[in-house]
Structure 1
Amino acid sequence: MSDLLNSEKTVPQAQSTIEKLGLNNPVLWMSGGFLTAFVVLALVDNELLSSLVNAGFAWSVKIFGPYWQLLLLITFLVGMGLAISPTTSKVRLGGLEKPELDGFKWLAIILCTLLAGGGVFWAAAEPIAHFVNPPPLYGTPEGNIQRQAFNALSQSFMHWGFLAWAILGTLTTIVLMHLHYDKGLPLKPRTLLYPVFGDRVLTGFFGSFIDACCIVAVAAGTIGPIGFLGLQVSYALNALFDLPDGFTTQFIIILGAIAIYTISALSGVNRGIQILSRYNIILAVGLMIYILLVGPTDFIINGYVQGVGTMIDNFIPMATFRGDMGWLSWWTVFFWGWFLGYGPMMAIFIARISRGRTIRQLVTTISIIAPLITCFWFSIVGGSGLAFEMANPGSVSAAFEGFNLPASLLAITQQLPFPMIVSILFLILTTIFIVTTGDSMTYTISVVISGETEPNALIRSFWGVMMGATAIILISLGAGGVSALQSFIVITAVPVSLILLPALWNAPQIAMKMATAQGLR
C-alpha cells in the first residue's frame, strides 16, 4: 500500500519535469532530434556530412541568393519608410507608455547580442581579406593603394551594416510585438505567419515545424561560434603564452563559456544578460578609445568617413551585385544566409527587451545607429590592420593567410603599444560577446519551447548545456565539424527566409492599424 501511495506521489512530479523540459512539445523533438542526428552523422562519417552540407550550401546560395539579397534590401527600405512616416513612426510597441529598459542598457544588449559574436575576429580579418583580394565590384584601383584600403572597409561595412542589422529585428519585431502583447498570441516564430494562415499555424504540425526550423537555424548559428571560440582562444593562448593548442585547452575554454552564459541566462534579461552586455560595451569603448589615440588615428577616421560614404554611394549596386557567383557565395550571400537564420529568434529576443519603444526608436536604433557603431568598430580594428599592412606589407596579410581569423587579430594587436595587455583584453571581449549571444539564444529557445516569457531554470540550463556540449563534440572532430555546422546555417536560411517574407507587407499594415488605435491617424 505504501509503495502504491509513493508511486502516486511521484506521478505529478514526473509530469511536472516533463512539462518543465518541454518533453511534451513536438518542437523539442523535431529540433533536438535533428541536431542529434547531425552530431551522430558527424561522429560516424564526417566526410559524408561535409559533402552533404557542401552540396546543400552550393544549392542554397545559387537558388536563393538573389532572393536573399532583395529580401534584405527591401526589409531595410520598408523599415526606414515606417520610421520616417509621420503616421507610423510614433506608434508605441508592447502596450507600455515608456520603455522598460533605459536607452544605454537597451542599446548595449542589442549591440552585444545581434552581430557581436562574429564581429570581433571578422573586424580584423574581413578588411584585410578585401584588401588582398579586392571585391569584384571595385576591382584594384591603379596606383592608389589607400583607395583600395577604403574600398575594403566599405565592402566590410556592407556585410555588417544596415542590411544585416535590419533583417534581424525591425519588421519582424513590429509584427511579433503587436501579435504577442496586444493580441495575446505566443512569442514564437510561427506567430510571424499568423496574418497569412490564421489559427491553423498556431497548432499542429505546421506550427511546430516552423518553430523547429528556426530553433535549428539559431542553434547551429550559436553552436558554431561557441566552437570557434574554443578554437580561436586556444590558438591565441598558444601564441601568447605557449599553452598547448589542443582539444584539452579548447574543452576547458568552452566549459567556462557554458558556465558563464548558462548562469547569465538563468538570471534573466534584466540581470545577467544586461549586466554582461553593459560591461562588455564599456570594455569595447575603452579599447576603441585607446586604439584611436595610440594607433593610426588619421587613417581610422578617414577610413570610416570615406568607407561609409563609399558604401552609401554604392549602396544599391553593392546590395544587388550578381556579377561573380563564386565571390558572392563566400561573401555577401554567405553572410546573408547566416544572418537570415538568426532572424525570427532575434526578433523574439528584441521584442522581449523593447516594450515601450516607438517604431522610430526601434528601426533607427537597429537599422542605422547600431550599424554605424559596428562600422566604426571595423574601422578601429580592421582599419588599424590596413594601415599597418600598408606601412609594412605582410605584417597582417601573412598572418591572415589561409583565413586565419585569430592570427589576423593578434597580428594587429601585437603592433600596438602594450601588445600583451591589449591582446588579452581582446580575448576577453571576444569571449563575452559570444557568451552574450549564447545566453540570449539560450533564453530565446527556452521561450519558444516553453511558451513563457520567463522560462523555468531547468529548460534554460538544458539548452545552454546542450549547445555547449554539441560544440565540444564537434571540435573533438577538428575544425571541420564546426565548419560544417557553420555552413549548415546557410542551408537552414532557406525555410527561415520564407518565414520572414510576409513581414514585408504585414508590418506596414499592423503599423497603420496601431497608429489608428493609438490616435495617430
Structure 2
Amino acid sequence: MSAAPTTQPEHAGSTADGAAEAPAAPTKLPVNWRVLIAAAAVIVGLSAWAIAAPAQADAVIGGVVGWVASQLGWFYILTATLVIVFVITVAASRGGTVRMGPDHARPQFNMFTWTAMLFAAGIGVDLMFFSVSEPVSQYLAPPTGDGQNLEAARQALVWTLFHYGITGWAMYALMGMAFGYFAYRFGMPLSIRSALYPLLGKRIHGVAGDAVDTAALLGTVFGVATSLGIGVVQLNYGLKSLFGVPENLAVQSALIAVGVGMAVVSCVSGVDKGIRRLSELNIVLAIGLMLYVLVAGRTAFLLDSIVMNIGDFVSRFPGMTLNTFAFEAPQEWMSAWTLFFWAWWIAWAPFVGLFLARISRGRTLRQFVVGTMTVPFAFILLWISIFGNSALDLVVSGNTAFGEVAMNTPERAFYSLLEQYPGATVAASIATFTGLLFYVTSADSGALVMSNFTSRIDDPNQDGPKWLRVFWAVSTGVLTLAMLLVGGVSTLQNATLIMGLPFSVVMYLIMVGLWRALRVEVSTAASGAVASRSAVAGRTGRDTHWRSRLSRLGSYPGPRAAQRYVDDVAVPALTTLAEEIRGTGVSVTVDRSPAEEHPAVDQTCLLVDLAPERDFVYRVYPVAFPTPGFGGFRTNPDSDQYFRLEVFTATGSLGYDVLGYTSEQLINDALDCYERHLEFIRLNHDHPGSTQIGLPTSELETAPAKEDNA
C-alpha cells in the first residue's frame, strides 16, 4: 500500500465546543500497557515461531489462508463493497456537509496544497512492484478463461486498477472520517476506539476499546511489514543490477537493519522535516520515471491505452466488486490477489486514514471523501496504465523471457522493464533511490502511528513517546525478517490476509458508530440550530432605533470596549438567565475567564448539564479581525484589530456578533439557542443518550478553537 508521508501538520486542536488548545508542552504520555502487551505478545510469538520452525509456520499459515479463502472470501468481498457504498452515501447525504472540526473551522491547507498531499499518499514502493508484475501475471494466468489473448490483455489492466483502485481508498476515507470527525469535532482521542463511542459509550476506555485498538495495531504491523518485505526484495535486486550485490537473505537482512536504523534515527532525533523533504523529492522522481517511460516508449499507444483503461474500468467495476467466482472458485488466485489486496488495504486503513485526517481538519466530509477517492487514484491510474501497458506490450510482442521474469520473480519486473529503454542505468538508480526513501518513510511513519495506538493520548496533536516508536520500528523489522525466513513475500501476504480479518469486523462497527453520530448531526440541523445563525431578530431588536443600528454597523470596537460589554452586559445577563433555568431543576453554571488568544478580553459561558444527553453550551467569546480602513468607518484608529463577541455552542461558532445587544436581547438569544437544543434532544428521543458523543462538555476544555479568520 501507499506510504503516508510523515507530515505532521500544525493546527489548532478542537474540543467538544471547538476548544482552543495551546501547543502541547512535552509531557510523559501514559502507555496503554494492555494494548502494548497483547500486540507485542502476538508479534514476538509469531516471529519466534517463524524463525525457530519456518517449515511448520509456512504450512500452518498456508492452511489457514486456504480456509479463509474458501470459507470467508465472500466476507472480504462484501465488506469492501459495503465500505464503498457507505462512504459515498455519507458524502451524498446531508451528513456530508458536517465538518471535521467545529462549525466555524476552515481548512488549514488550501485546495492545491491539500490535493498535493493526497497525491503524495498515493505513492509507495509496492506500487512500483505491482504496476509491472500484476498486469503481466493477469495476462498470462487470468482467474478464468484462457490467457495470452486480447481480452486477457484488457482485463489484466482492469484487475490491477481494481486491486489498487477506489475500493482501497474508500477504506482509507472511512478511517479518515472516523479519526477526523470524532477527534476534531468532539475532542476525543485520535484513535480507533473513539469512533465506537456511539455504540459502547464510556466502555471504549476499557477492555472493549483496548481490543479494538489491538486489532487495528496487529493489522497495521503486518500491513507495514508486508510493504517493507516487498521493498526489501525489490531493492535487493536493484542493488544487484547496479552494483552486483548478491540477491539473498543476508543482504535483505542488512537492508532491513538499515531501514530500521534510519527510522529509529528519525523517531528519536525529530528529523521529520528532512524526511518530509525527501518524500517530496520522491514524488518528483516518481513522476519523472513515469514521464520517462511515457516518452521513451510507444507514446501514442500508451495514451490510447490510458483512455481505453478508463472506459474498461468504469464499465466493468460494478460486476468485479461483487464477483466471488462462486462457480469457477479459483481459491488460489483469490487468496493471492483480491483477498490479499482487500486485507492489505484494511490493514493499512488506520495508518493512512490517520494521516489523511491530520491534513484535512476543517474540511467537510463530502470534500474529504471526494478528494480521497479521486486525487490519489487519478495518479495511480496513470502510473499503472503507463507501466502496465508498457510491460504488456513487451509480452504481447513476443518477449516471453520478460513475461516469465515478471510473473515468477515479480521483484525483478520493474527493473527488467527499465532495461528495455535507453539510459537504463540512470533510471534504475533513480528507481532504487526512490524505493529506498519510500521504504524508510514507511518504517518511520509506521512506527509513529503504532506508538500512538499503544499510548493514551487525549490531544490529537500529540504523538507517542520516542522509546515506543523505537520499539515498534524494531519489532516491525524483526517481523519482516521472520516472514521472509519462512517463505518470502508470499508468506507476508498470507499473514496479512489472516490479520486483516479481525479489523474488518471493527470496520463494520465504525460504520455503524459514525452513521449514528451523523444522524444526530442531521437532527441538529432539523432542529433549526444551523438554519438560524443569522439571528436577525436578536441582532437588531425590533425596538432598536435605526440610527443606533447604523452606528453599530460602522463600529469596530477594541479590546476595552469588548471587555466593558462582557462586564456590564454579558455576565450579568447570563447569570440572571442561569438563575431562572436553575429553577427548572437542572444544574447550570456560568463561568468567565480570560480568552486564551486574547487575554485582555474575557470569555463567558453558560453551561446547562443535561446528562445523559449533550450539555447545552452558550459561550460569548472574543474573536479578533483586522480593522478595515475604508471610508469613515474606521472608529478604532489606534489598533489594527477590532473585536467581535461571537456565540459558540457545542459544535463551534454560530457566526454572528452579539457585542451591542442589550441585556434583554442577549437573554432572548441564549433562550432561542436553548430552545433549539431541547428540540434537538427531542428529535432523538427514540435513542436516549445518543446526542452525547465523547466526554460531557463539563469534563473538557471549553475555549473555542483558534481559526484563521483572515
Q: 1:114 to 1:375 in 2, by over 3 A?
A: closer
Whichever residue aligns with residue 91 of structure 2, its letter is A
Choose which of 385, 393, 399 in structure 2 pairs with 1:393.
399
CA distance in 2, matches of 1:216, 1:122: 24
Q: What SS does structure 1 have at the residue aligned with 2:451?
A: helix
> Which residue of structure 2 aligns with residue 346 of structure 1?
352
> Which residue of structure 1 aligns with residue 446 of structure 2?
441
Check the 8 A contact 2:233/2:411 in 1, yes or no. no
Higher Rg: 2
Whichever residue aligns with residue 282 of structure 2, its letter is N
* Residue 433 of structure 1: how far off its partner (Å): 2.3
* Residue 140 of structure 1: how far off its partner (Å): 4.6
CA distance in 2, matches of 1:78, 1:285: 32
Choose which of 492, 505, 510 in structure 2 pairs with 1:503.
510
Q: 1:267 to 1:511 in 2, by over 3 A?
A: farther
* Residue 38 of structure 1: how far off its partner (Å): 0.6
CA RMSD of aligned residues (A): 2.7
> Which residue of structure 2 aligns with residue 60 of structure 1?
68
Choose which of 184, 188, 197 in structure 2 pairs with 1:185.
188
Q: 1:293 to 1:181 in 2, by over 3 A?
A: same
Choose which of 463, 467, 490 in structure 2 pairs with 1:454.
463
Choose which of 352, 364, 375 in structure 1 pairs with 2:370.
364
* Residue 430 of structure 1: how far off its partner (Å): 2.1
Whichever residue aligns with residue 88 of structure 1, its letter is G
CA displacement, residues 442-476 of structure 1 (integer Å, 9 cap, x when unaligned): 1111111123332232222222233224334554x
* Residue 39 of structure 1: how far off its partner (Å): 1.0
Q: Counterparts of 1:3-18 in structure 2 under 5 Å?
A: none
* Residue 251 of structure 1: how far off its partner (Å): 3.0
CA displacement, residues 260-285 of structure 1 (integer Å, 9 cap, x when unaligned): 33344557797355433322111111
CA distance in 2, matches of 1:249, 1:496: 33
> Which residue of structure 1 aligns with residue 293 of structure 2?
291
Q: Counterparts of 1:177-326 in structure 2 under 5 Å?
A: 177-203=180-206, 205-265=207-267, 271-272=273-274, 274-323=276-325, 324-325=328-329, 326=331
Q: 1:295 to 1:481 in 2, by over 3 A?
A: closer
Q: 1:418 to 1:99 in 2, by over 3 A?
A: same
CA distance in 2, matches of 1:50, 1:35: 16
CA distance in 1, matches of 2:253, 2:497: 26
CA distance in 1, matches of 2:398, 2:311: 27
Choose which of 410, 415, 422 in structure 1 pairs with 2:415.
410
CA displacement, residues 67-101 of structure 1 (integer Å, 9 cap, x when unaligned): 2212212211222233344x333332134723334
* Residue 109 of structure 1: how far off its partner (Å): 4.6
Q: What SS does structure 1 have at the residue aligned with 2:101?
A: coil
Q: Larger relative CO (CA 8 A, sep 6+): 1 or 2?
A: 1
Normalised to the residue count of structure 1, the TM-score between the two structures is 0.87
Whichever residue aligns with residue 185 of structure 2, its letter is D
Check the 8 A contact 2:76/2:339 in 1, yes or no. yes
CA distance in 1, matches of 2:271, 2:73: 35
Choose which of 78, 89, 92 in structure 1 pairs with 2:96.
89
Check the 8 A contact 2:197/2:513 in 1, yes or no. no
Choose which of 45, 54, 59 in structure 2 pairs with 1:46.
54
Does residue 382 of the first structure (1) align with residue 384 of the second (2)?
no
CA distance in 2, matches of 1:385, 1:182: 47
* Residue 63 of structure 1: how far off its partner (Å): 2.9
Q: What SS does structure 2 have at the residue aligned with 1:450?
A: coil
CA distance in 2, matches of 1:135, 1:102: 44
* Residue 107 of structure 1: how far off its partner (Å): 4.2
Q: Counterparts of 1:92-131 in structure 2 under 5 Å?
A: 92-95=99-102, 97-103=105-111, 106-113=114-121, 116-131=124-139
CA distance in 2, matches of 1:346, 1:67: 23
CA distance in 1, matches of 2:68, 2:194: 25
Whichever residue aligns with residue 127 of structure 1, its letter is P
Whichever residue aligns with residue 170 of structure 2, its letter is A
CA distance in 1, matches of 2:434, 2:164: 18
CA distance in 2, matches of 1:454, 1:71: 31
> Which residue of structure 1 aligns with residue 336 of structure 2?
330
* Residue 482 of structure 1: how far off its partner (Å): 5.4
Q: 1:109 to 1:48 in 2, by over 3 A?
A: farther
> Which residue of structure 2 aligns with residue 421 of structure 1?
426
Check the 8 A contact 1:42/1:481 in 2, yes or no. no
CA distance in 1, matches of 2:479, 2:502: 23
CA distance in 2, matches of 1:163, 1:342: 13
Whichever residue aligns with residue 440 of structure 2, its letter is V
Whichever residue aligns with residue 466 of structure 1, its letter is S
Does residue 25 of the first structure (1) align with residue 33 of the second (2)?
yes
Does residue 467 of the first structure (1) align with residue 470 of the second (2)?
no
CA displacement, residues 372-428 of structure 1 (integer Å, 9 cap, x when unaligned): 2112111121111112222233142021242x1122112210001201111121122
Percent of aligned pairs sharing the same letter: 26
Higher mean C-alpha displacement, 354-363 vs 249-258 = 249-258
Normalised to the residue count of structure 2, the TM-score between the two structures is 0.65
CA distance in 2, matches of 1:302, 1:125: 21
* Residue 357 of structure 1: how far off its partner (Å): 2.1
> Which residue of structure 1 aligns with residue 81 of structure 2?
73
